[in-house]
C-alpha cells in the first residue's frame, strides 16, 4: 500500500512535569463544630463497680452503656422528682435533658420551672427549691410555689422565699392568704399577715366559716377582716352544721339579720341540733324543699311539727328526682302538693320506676317528650317500655331512635324490633 494512502498515526502530546497538575486541592474553611454537651455523671453504683475493674473503667463507651442500662431517671419528670425531694435525681434529670432545656424559649422554661418549684414547695423541700431557683432556673419568676406552700401549711418554704425574694423575683399577693385560710393553716395566715400585703375582697371569714374554724374566724375578726364578712359565712356554717360558729357569727357579726338563710341551709343538710337551738328564727319553703332534695325525711317531719312555712312544688320535684317515694307520698298527703313535668323527667332520668307509677296513678304530672328522652339517654329500657304502654302518643319515635344510637343499643334494638321506630339507615 503506498505510503501516501496509509492513515496517519496519532501521537498524544507528552505531559511534562510543568503541565497542569493531576490533582487540585481546594482549601475551604471548616465549619465551626459545637462541642458535644457534657455527659451526666455516672450513677454511683456504676462508678463504684467500675473502679473495681480498671480495665472496664478505662472503656468510656462501656461505662456509659452500663449507666444507660441502669438509669431509671427516664421514668421521672422534673416536677415529680422535685415533689419527692430527690435533689440528686433532679440534678441528673437536668443534666440528661440539658440540650432540651437550652432549646426552650423563655416561656417554656418559665412553665417548667413553675411546675417543678410548685411541687417542691408543696411538700416543704427547701433544698430542692433552692436547687431549682438558684441553679437550674435562675432567671425564672417564683409564682405558684408561694400558693402551694401556703395551701399545704409550709411556713419554712414561705420564710425562705421571703428571705430570697429580691434575688429570686418572688411574686406575693395572689391567693396565698385565701388558700391558707381555706386549709385551716392559722400559722401560715398569721405569717402572711405580718410579712406580706394580701389583697382585699377575698371574704376570708366566709371561707373559714365553711370549715367551722372558729379560731381562724376570731383571729380574722380581730385583725380587721370583719368588714368583708357576708351572709355567706352564716350560710356556709349552717350548711355544714357548725353550731358554735353560727352562734359566734350571730353575736359578733350579724345580730340575727339573716335568720332565714341559717334555717334553710341547716334544714337542707339535716342539722336538727341547730334548728332546735334557733327554732324561733324564720325560714322559707326552701328549707323543706332542700331537705326533700337531700332525702332528709326526719328534717321534713321536724319542720312540719315546728314550722308552718310548708313546701312548694319544688319539694315534690326534688323528692321525685331523689327517688324518695316515701317523702313524695308524705308531702302529697300532708300538703296536697302537686308537681310539674320536671318530676317525671327527673324520675325517668334516675330510673325511679316506682316514682313514675305513683305520679301516673295520682295524675300529678303529665308525660312529655323529654321524659322518654331522659330514659333513653340513661339506658332505662324498662321505663321506655312503660312509657310507650301508657303514653303512646306524645313520644317521638324517630327522635328517640337517633338519641338511642348515641347512648344505648338495647333501646335501639327494642325500638326497631317492636316496630316503634324504623331505622332508615339500614336501607
Q: What is the pLDDT of residue 14?
A: 54
Confidence of residue 112 (pLDDT cuts 50, 70, 90): very high
For residue 31, pLDDT over 50 is answered with no
Please give the grid coordinates belonging to residue 368. 312529655
Between residues 68 and 425, which one has the greater pLDDT?
A: 68
Distance CA 329, CA 292 (A): 12
pLDDT value of residue 381: 83
SS3 203: coil
Angle subtended by helix axes 341-350 and 313-322, to nearest 10 = 10
Mean of all residue pLDDT scores within the chain? 78
More confident residue, 29 or 70: 70
> Any idea how long the chain is?
427
Read off the pTM: 0.58
Highest averaged pLDDT of the listed ranges 37-41, 159-163, 345-349, 356-360: 159-163
Q: Report the alpha-carbon distance of residue 210 to residue 207 in Å, rounded.
A: 5
Between residues 124 and 23, which one has the greater pLDDT? 124
Residue 20 has pLDDT above 50, yes or no: no
More confident residue, 114 or 28: 114
Q: Answer yes or no: are the C-beta atoms of 248 and 217 closer than 8 Å.
A: yes
Please state which CATH class domain 260-366 belongs to: mainly alpha
pLDDT digits (tens, 9 = 90+) for 59-107: 666 666 666 666 667 778 889 999 999 888 888 888 778 888 888 898 9
- Which of the residue ranges 27-31, 212-216, 383-387 would you say has the lowest mean pLDDT? 27-31
Helix segments in 164-258, DSSP class H: 165-168, 176-182, 186-195, 204-210, 214-222, 231-239, 243-249
CB 124 within 8 A of CB 72: no
pLDDT at position 422 = 45
In this predicted structure, what is the pLDDT of residue 376?
Answer: 80
pLDDT in tens, 305-357: 887 888 888 889 999 999 999 999 999 999 887 888 888 888 988 889 899 99
Rg (CA), the chain: 39
pLDDT value, residue 225: 82
Give domain limits for the chain: 260-366, 367-426
Which is higher by pLDDT, 237 or 266? 237
Give Dmax (Cα) for the chain. Answer: 150
The yes-or-no verdict on residue 40 having pLDDT over 90 is no
The percentage of residues in the chain with a pLDDT greater than 70, rounded to a whole number, is 71
Amino acid at each position: 500500500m503506498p505510503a501516501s494512502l496509509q492513515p496517519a498515526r496519532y501521537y498524544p502530546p507528552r505531559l511534562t512535569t510543568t503541565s497542569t497538575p493531576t490533582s487540585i486541592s481546594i482549601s475551604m474553611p471548616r465549619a465551626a463544630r459545637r462541642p458535644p454537651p457534657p455527659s451526666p455523671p455516672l450513677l454511683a453504683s456504676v462508678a463504684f463497680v467500675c473502679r473495681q475493674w480498671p480495665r472496664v473503667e478505662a472503656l468510656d463507651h462501656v461505662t456509659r452503656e452500663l449507666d444507660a442500662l441502669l438509669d431509671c431517671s427516664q421514668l421521672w419528670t422534673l416536677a415529680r422528682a422535685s415533689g419527692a425531694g430527690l435533689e440528686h435525681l433532679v440534678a441528673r434529670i437536668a443534666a440528661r435533658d440539658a440540650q432540651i432545656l437550652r432549646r426552650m424559649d423563655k416561656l417554656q422554661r418559665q412553665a417548667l420551672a413553675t411546675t417543678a418549684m410548685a411541687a417542691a414547695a408543696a411538700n416543704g423541700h427547701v433544698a430542692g427549691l433552692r436547687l431549682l431557683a438558684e441553679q437550674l432556673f435562675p432567671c425564672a419568676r417564683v409564682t405558684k410555689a408561694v400558693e402551694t406552700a401556703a395551701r399545704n401549711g409550709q411556713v419554712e418554704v414561705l420564710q425562705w422565699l421571703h428571705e430570697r425574694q429580691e434575688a429570686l423575683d418572688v411574686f406575693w399577693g395572689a391567693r396565698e392568704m385565701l388558700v391558707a385560710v381555706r386549709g385551716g393553716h392559722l400559722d401560715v395566715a398569721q405569717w402572711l399577715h405580718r410579712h406580706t400585703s394580701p389583697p382585699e375582697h377575698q371574704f376570708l371569714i366566709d371561707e373559714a366559716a365553711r370549715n367551722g374554724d372558729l379560731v381562724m374566724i376570731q383571729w380574722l375578726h380581730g385583725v380587721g377582716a370583719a368588714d368583708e364578712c357576708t351572709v355567706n359565712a352564716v350560710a356556709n356554717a349552717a350548711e355544714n352544721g357548725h353550731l358554735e360558729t353560727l352562734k359566734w357569727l350571730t353575736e359578733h357579726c350579724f345580730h340575727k339579720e339573716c335568720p332565714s338563710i341559717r334555717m334553710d341551709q341547716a334544714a337542707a343538710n339535716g342539722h336538727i341540733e341547730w334548728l332546735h337551738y334557733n327554732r324561733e328564727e324564720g325560714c322559707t319553703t326552701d328549707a323543706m324543699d332542700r331537705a326533700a332534695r337531700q332525702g332528709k325525711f326526719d328534717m321534713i317531719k321536724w319542720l312540719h311539727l315546728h314550722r308552718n312555712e310548708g313546701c312548694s312544688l319544688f319539694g315534690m320535684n326534688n323528692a321525685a328526682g331523689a327517688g324518695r317515694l316515701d317523702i313524695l307520698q308524705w308531702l302529697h298527703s300532708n300538703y296536697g302538693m302537686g308537681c310539674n313535668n320536671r318530676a317525671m323527667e327527673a324520675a325517668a332520668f334516675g330510673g325511679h320506676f316506682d316514682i313514675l307509677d305513683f305520679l301516673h296513678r295520682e295524675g300529678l304530672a303529665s308525660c312529655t317528650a323529654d321524659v322518654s328522652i331522659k330514659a333513653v339517654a340513661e339506658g332505662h329500657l324498662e321505663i321506655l317500655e312503660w312509657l310507650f304502654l301508657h303514653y303512646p302518643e306524645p313520644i317521638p319515635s324517630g327522635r328517640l331512635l337517633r338519641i338511642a344510637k348515641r347512648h344505648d343499643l338495647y333501646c335501639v334494638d327494642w325500638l326497631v324490633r317492636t316496630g316503634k321506630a324504623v331505622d332508615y339507615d339500614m336501607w
